[in-house]
Amino acid sequence: MTNKFFTRNNLLVAAAFAFLGLTGCNPEEDVNPDGVLSASETNEAVAAAASGVKYRGNHYIVLSNTETLPAGLGNQLASINGRMTNIWSEAGVATVYSEDPAFLAKASRIQGVRSVVRDLEIQWIKPDSREVVLHEEVYGNPPNSGDNDTRFDLQWGHAAIKAPAAWNAGVRGKGVKVAVLDSGFDLDHPDLAPNILMNDSKSFVVNDKNEDLWYALDDAFSHGTHTAGTIAAADNAYGVIGVAPEAKLILVKVLSDHTGSGAFSWIMAGIVHAADKGADVINMSLGAAIPRNGWFVNDNGTPTNPSDDYLEKGSTSAVQELLIALDRTTQYANKKGVTVVASAGNAANNGNKDGSLVHVPSASSQVISVSATAPFGWALNPYGVFMDNFASYSNYGTPDIHFAAPGGDSRFAREPQGFQPVKIGPVTQVAYAFDLVYSTGNTRVPNAGAFYWSAGTSMASPHAAGVAALIISKNGDKMDPAQVLAKMRDTADDLGKPGRDPYYGYGRVNALRAVTE
């Protein structure tokens, strides 16, 4: 759904949302923190999740009994009509292509193989469930910014986590590499180009569109470009600025721009690639809610249970094997010294109450899960409004959330003053739009897509990843991920109940405290 309208400056605008995950919710509905989903709501959530998951024909994931693959596995797979497409020996995982209908059963009998499961294609981003904010004007430096990047005044999230104060303390992300696993990227964007490590960047998307690393659509909205800008847009007297503006970016395309979908194996390949290229931080602003009961949709769109094809293990075990495969790649990255950060998801799901779905990769091993916060009417009171309201759409739950960070929300649109025109610098916009997160967009759309507003835990995760980059920049790029997590935990602003709570986790990240305490 896209609502387009014109402001008095004749700017083409619409509210921006980039919802990740497979279960939907109205972003303007209030969350009941202590409520439990009814049986019908749970069934609907599982059904919605299943509709976005299907088998990837002839593609399999093979796990060994240990974190080392059996010797000669490639030859053994070839003897039963299988061709290895990726091999991650130190994680004990390989991906295989085979057109043999009996391949799964044959491969399961190889000595040293723990399990063989079908690869999945999952819709990690829903392209049609967001609205895009575009504006066409070019303008100079706004007043009171404290920075010479021309659109810095629109980035309330940086103020909320005290990023400018961290920069003033001398920490700006220098020496740190952040890998962004996402959809395509605008590689020529003036705010990103100075920080992109092109030789280390790569696309793993394999489909009939032949998508490369570039964002493939003639659309101002570019999810990957937006998240990358929040992390490390350059401090170049232009546009916006990242939380860690001197960090370098390894851009890894793992999702199709056309569908928002990506294979389970593409995500794993992207994680391993980033770790092998020396990333210090991985950000994954993507997510899927997988039904624990194992019901997916097959290549023909028919609901199917993995036990129909994999009789040695039941449906729940097949799901569990996929989660173990993903865990092994995140653990591999962790052992290589990579701090992995992911969005918690936008289904307003209460992880304390509803166990029918598992959200990945945020629930994967060694992954820092980030929920979203937002102001309510920031544009009308930028110096006095509370900026840490829990976002209406964000997933929550004590075991599910490590930290909160700015993600934005459109709830203020329900108020009459939400549509009041407000001018900040030279930008005139309806008030509620300013509560969203402003970052880089696709410049390949003439005169339109360089920047836009969006909201979601997708926008929160990059803020937290940027703080992780600042911590590593301050303490050295050999800092262990456990130390990064401990520093984030010890310096977060504890906004909910004392200690770890279901909404803010250990607290909303604080860049200044993270690099000075």
| Sequence-ordered list of residues with C-beta below 8 angstroms from that of 164, at least 6 positions apart, any chain | 146, 147, 158
Contact 243, 468 (CB under 8 A): no
Give dist(CA 25, CA 22) in Å, integer: 10
Q: Which helix (H) or strand (E) covers residue 453, if one does?
A: strand 451-454
Q: How far is CA 271 from the centre of its chain?
A: 13
Distance CA 184, CA 203 (A): 8
C-alpha to C-alpha distance for 187 and 198, rounded to whole angstroms: 9
Of 306, 241, 310, 198, the C-alpha closest to 462 is 241
DSSP states of 357-419 = EEEETTTSTTEEEEEEEE-SSGGG-TTTS---EEPTT--B-TTT-SEEEE----GGGGSGGGG
Q: Which of 231, 233, 216, 240 is nearest to 445 (CA)?
A: 216
Q: Which of 119, 147, 153, 182 is catalytic?
A: 182
* Residue 182 annotated among the catalytic residues of the structure: yes
Query: How many Cα atoms occupy the beta-carbon half-sphere of 6 within 13 Å?
Result: 3
**What are 266's two structure tokens?**
């593409």
Catalytic one among 59, 135, 189, 223? 223
Annotated active-site residue 463? The verdict is no
Q: Is 315 designated active site?
A: no
Whole-angstrom distance, CA of residue 297 vs CA of residue 390: 33
Options 265, 458, 461, 473, the catalytic residue: 458
Q: Where are the beta strands (DSSP E) in 89-168?
A: 93-97, 113-123
Q: Are 436 and 16 a contacting pair, CB within 8 Å?
A: yes
Q: Could you list the active site residues?
A: 182, 223, 458
